[in-house]
Amino acid sequence: MKIFRKDMFISAFIIAAAIFLIGFLIGDQLDRFRIDDATLLLNKGDLDSQSFETEGEFFNLFSDEKCDVDRSRINKLGRQLAEMGQTLTDYDAKKLTHKDSYNFLKRKYFISELKFYNMKKSLDDECGIDSPVILFFYNVEDNENSLRQGYVLDSLKRKVDDLIILSFDKDFDESVVKTLVEFYSIKEAPTLIINYDRKIDGFVSEGELFGIIDEENN
Amino acid sequence: MLEVYIWMISFLSLYVSVFWIIVSTHNKNNVIPKLDYYSFVTIVVPAWNEEKTIINTLQSLIDLNYDKNKLEIIVVNDGSTDNTKQVLNKFLKDNKLKYIKVINQKNTGKAGALNTGLKIAKGEYFGVFDADSVASKDALKLMLPYFSDKTIGAVISPIKVADPKTTIEKIQRIEYIFSSFIRKLMSNIGTLHITHGVLSLFQTGVLRKLGGFDDKFNRNLTEDYEMAMRLRKNHYQILLCEENVNFTKVPDNLRTLWFQRVRWFRGFIVNGIKYKSMIMNKRHGLLGRFQIPLELLTLIIVFTSFGFMGYQIFRRLYNFAVKVFLLKMEIFYIDIPSLKNFILQINFNLFFPFVVTLMAGLYLYIIAHRYVNEKWQFHLVSFIYLFLYPMIRSMQWIHALVLELMGAKERWR
């Protein structure tokens, strides 16, 4: 009467494992596409940044007006960086494999951010550009406050057009990040550095932040 | 951590689904047995407050295509507080059928009522038939030949829901189709360990040898499941007669369904503890080493999934509330991504196991419908059954577990 055979268990395992292997391979391929996409974005950002820098050097050498560079481009570069950061964070959260590749890209991204930060500071000092800039130090390890602060900054970004936000994973193992953390004595997440020197520890509401930015830029 | 858990659960679900699909593709290819001898059969109908359904039930037994000289029907009115007694008396008076007996007794619970019937049963075979069910005309003729040897302790049939009207009944219609299908597969591999009240046939001698239905330890929760486990523990087989289908009324609202299921699940827990020695016991073959552990594993998955799911739902609701109430964010701000971004944004770690489990479930859903000759359709009720009903079942399980831990008392209905 019974139709059971032991090979049914083995067949079921082989089929299930094969389906999962296919799933794993598709996931792996999707990861590769994501890494390629993020690499392309980072390279494009680097190139745009280099182009901006080179133009600045050109004006430095050949023109009396050092600040003749197109100022709107600094905002554009800032927006590009923010988009890159968002894409990278999204992709990183969805990764199946390739942890090292993602870490490499994140390193590259944080370096680009600091490079941009330096460039912005130099322009602000020399040319008096006064668009606000915020350094946002967050923690990825299930920190609800960092998440909420992220929402606040997203919301603020939509309301303050020229606001530039540069995000750093406070615990990321990269000397650039460590330097910043040490320089600004970052102890907790979230921490915000507004316009280079105003430090705010802990979560800040949107209204409060709006007031601070307004006060800083007037 | 969550993703690893989801992948593990998904792999297990897929593995089990594929196993059942493989079993379903191996037909027994045996000739349908035919009845060559009319054995004496006693059918006991335990009744408690069944004034509305008892006549319909009795009529379906009277209409059985079986030699009435070889049939005995015993209705045990188990202390009904409605008009069941009067309805039965009138029916007997009007019909004057010698093979139907009615016993009125104080309320003892379903197991007690069945034992009353068992004590006086003359039949070689003993049928248990709930007072809200309807048997098909050829039920006995189709089921009895399955008692092909002395090791067959019981034979059951697939059950369909009679005349489903409400959404709750329609959900259960799918559930019964699904469980009938899985029971068929369990019967095919010799792991069936369920008897139910919609005409289960037993060898009367075996029931008496095993001491009748448990009306003490089991506290009247699920005496049918307990008997099935006792049969299996004593190495009797239970088979499913797939050629016959009986019908039953099911709860038509969530509240009644909820308490019925909590009672069933409590019965599962109580009997699981009572028969724990069968778990991983090689003396019980595939039942002990595969089926029961699988059911326990399913339970663990149900509980942990509920925990994880609860946490995730709470977290998302909290974040949503933060966005809306604290930050007053534009919650309907949506960036429409390009196709490339849409694909790259898919969280494959969650998407793949979800899709795989869903596909396996859908395939089983379709072949289960084919098995009971029902048309399968995908509509709102199917959606509720596949996506929301498991959550309701999880909560019922938790409710049952809590009641068991608290030692709450329960009646059979």
pLDDT digits (tens, 9 = 90+) for A86-143: 888 888 877 777 888 889 999 999 999 999 999 889 888 888 767 889 999 998 776 7
Both A114 and A138 in one domain: the answer is no
Both A11 and A33 in one domain: the answer is yes
With respect to residue A96, please indicate whether it lies within any of the assigned structural domains. Answer: yes
Contact across the interface for A8 and B239, Cβ inside 8 Å: no
Both A93 and A139 in one domain: the answer is no
With respect to residue A20, please indicate whether it lies within any of the assigned structural domains. Answer: yes
Residue A179 burial by Cβ neighbours in a 10 Å radius (0-12, 13-18, 19+): exposed
- Domain termination site, one of A94, A118, A142: A118
pLDDT at residue B329, rounded to an integer: 60
Rg (CA), chain B: 24
Both A62 and A105 in one domain: the answer is yes
Q: Give the closest residue to B227 by CA, choosing from B115, B328, B313, B316.
A: B115
Spell out which residues of chain A touch residue B286, defining contact as CB-CB under 8 Å.
Answer: 4
User: Among B23, B28, B344, whose Cβ lies nearest the Cβ of A8?
Assistant: B23
Both A172 and A93 in one domain: the answer is no
Confidence of residue A70 (pLDDT cuts 50, 70, 90): low
pLDDT at residue B277, rounded to an integer: 94
* Secondary structure of residue B251 in the 3-state scheme: coil
Spell out which residues of chain A touch residue B328, defining contact as CB-CB under 8 Å.
Answer: 206
Spell out which residues of chain A touch residue B356, defining contact as CB-CB under 8 Å.
Answer: 19-20, 23
With respect to residue A39, please indicate whether it lies within any of the assigned structural domains. Answer: yes
Distance CA B279, CA B283 (A): 10
Our count of domains for chain A comes to 2
Q: Give the closest residue to B41 by CA, choosing from B152, B97, B150, B124.
A: B124
The phi, psi pair for B376, rounded to 5°, reads: -95, 135
* Residue at B39: amino acid letter: S
User: Among A3, A16, A94, whose Cβ lies nearest the Cβ of B347?
Assistant: A94
CA distance A193 to chain B (A): 20
With respect to residue A86, please indicate whether it lies within any of the assigned structural domains. Answer: yes
pLDDT at residue B219, rounded to an integer: 56
**Spatial contact of A120 and A74, defined as CB atoms under 8 Å apart:** yes
With respect to residue A124, please indicate whether it lies within any of the assigned structural domains. Answer: no
**Spatial contact of A163 and A213, defined as CB atoms under 8 Å apart:** yes
The CATH number of the domain where A171 resides is what? 3.40.30.10
Both A194 and A135 in one domain: the answer is yes
Note whether ipTM > 0.85 here: no
The phi, psi pair for B178, rounded to 5°, reads: -65, -45
Both A111 and A165 in one domain: the answer is no
CA distance A37 to chain B (A): 9
With respect to residue A125, please indicate whether it lies within any of the assigned structural domains. Answer: no
- Domain termination site, one of A61, A90, A118: A118
Q: Find all residues with CB under 8 Å of A37, minimum gap 6, and list them.
A: A87, A91, B340, B344
How far is residue B250 from each of residues A184, A203, B81, B373, measured CA to CA in Å?
Answer: 68, 54, 21, 20
Both A95 and A168 in one domain: the answer is no
Task: Give the chain B residue whose CA is nearest to the CA of A205.
Answer: B327
Spell out which residues of chain B touch residue A148, defining contact as CB-CB under 8 Å.
Answer: 319, 322, 326-327
| Sequence-ordered alpha helix ranges (H) in A63-98 | 72-93
**pLDDT tens-place values along chain B, 413 residues long:** 667 777 788 888 888 888 988 888 876 555 666 777 889 999 999 999 999 899 999 999 999 999 999 999 999 999 999 999 999 999 988 888 889 999 999 988 899 999 999 999 999 999 999 998 999 999 999 999 999 889 999 999 999 998 899 999 999 999 999 999 999 999 989 999 999 999 999 999 999 999 999 887 555 568 899 999 999 999 999 999 989 999 999 999 999 999 999 999 998 888 889 999 999 999 999 999 999 998 888 888 877 777 777 777 887 788 778 777 766 666 566 667 778 777 877 777 777 877 887 888 888 888 888 888 888 777 888 888 888 888 888 889 889 989 988 877 665 44
- Domain termination site, one of A118, A140, A173: A118
How far is residue B147 from each of residues A129, B37, B136, B184, measured CA to CA in Å?
Answer: 93, 12, 19, 16
CA distance B214 to chain A (A): 29
Q: Find all residues with CB under 8 Å of A153, minimum gap 6, and list them.
A: A134, A136, A165, A209
Q: Please give the residue range of the domain that contains residue A90.
A: 1-118
Residue B315 CB neighbours (<10 A): 13
Identify from B23, B327, B333 which residue to disrupt to test chain A contact, counting A C-beta atoms within 10 A and taking the largest count.
B327
* Secondary structure of residue A62 in the 3-state scheme: helix
CB-based contact, B317 to chain A, within 8 Å: no
Both A88 and A9 in one domain: the answer is yes
With respect to residue A123, please indicate whether it lies within any of the assigned structural domains. Answer: no
Q: What is the pLDDT of residues A6-63, one digit of tens each?
A: 788 899 999 999 988 888 888 888 889 999 999 999 999 899 988 888 888 888 788 7
Both A99 and A166 in one domain: the answer is no
Both A113 and A207 in one domain: the answer is no
With respect to residue A88, please indicate whether it lies within any of the assigned structural domains. Answer: yes
pLDDT at residue A47, rounded to an integer: 92
Both A158 and A90 in one domain: the answer is no
